[in-house]
């Protein structure tokens, strides 16, 4: 960063701004990489549950058979975590653009992050604790 550039910002504001720019660069990169992975995960998942099987056949025993193979548990957990991260980060962009009141925006973001975190925990517990033997 040149001294001319630095002089235009308040003293002490630079490190903060720089770390924010770093974060946004990582966020941009994450959206592309996770998007590319989700391209396959999400479309395969949808095809299996709505196209190659009818949705009414996706019962508990259907899931039990699928999750008997750890591969599909890992697959679904990746879809859960990447989907939530990618989606919540996307929603962050949307809130930055359309919720102009800073306090409302902060409150809305806090609510969204808490909701996403809670659902991440719920989904992870579901994938880890589900026992196929429960399926009658």
Partner 1 sequence: MSPESTLYKGKTGQWAFVLHRVTGFLVLMFILLHIIDVSMLNFPRIYNEIHALYGNVLMRLFEVGLLFGLVYHALNGLRVIMIDFFPGSIKNEKSVFYGIFSLTVLLTIIGGFIILRPFFTGSVH
Residues that bind partner 1 (CB under 8 A): 28, 32, 35-36, 38-39, 42-43, 46, 50-51, 54-56, 58-60, 63, 80, 83-84, 87-88, 90-91, 94, 96-98, 115, 119, 122-123, 125-126, 129-130, 134-136
- Which residues are within 8 A (CB) of 83 and not within 5 positions of it... i.e. 6 or more apart? 38, 41, 42
The Cα–Cα gap between 130 and 61 comes to 11
- Which residues are within 8 A (CB) of 124 and not within 5 positions of it... i.e. 6 or more apart? 77, 80, 81
Least distance in angstroms from the C-beta of 44 to partner 1? 11
Q: Which CB atom, from 6 or from 134, has the smaller least distance to partner 1?
A: 134
Least distance in angstroms from the C-beta of 38 to partner 1? 8
């Amino acid at each position: 960063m040149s001294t001319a550039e630095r002089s235009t910002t308040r003293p002490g504001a630079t490190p903060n701004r720089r770390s924010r720019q770093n974060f946004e660069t990582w966020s941009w990169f994450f959206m592309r990489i996770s998007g590319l992975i989700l391209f396959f995960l999400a479309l395969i998942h949808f095809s299996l549950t709505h196209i190659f099987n009818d949705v009414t056949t996706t019962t508990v025993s259907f899931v039990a058979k699928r999750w008997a193979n750890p591969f599909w548990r890992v697959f679904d957990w990746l879809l859960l975590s990447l989907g939530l991260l990618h989606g919540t980060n996307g929603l962050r962009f949307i809130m930055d653009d359309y919720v102009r009141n800073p306090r409302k925006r902060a409150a809305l973001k806090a609510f969204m992050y808490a909701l996403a975190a809670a659902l991440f925990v719920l989904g992870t517990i579901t994938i880890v604790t589900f026992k196929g033997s429960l399926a009658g």
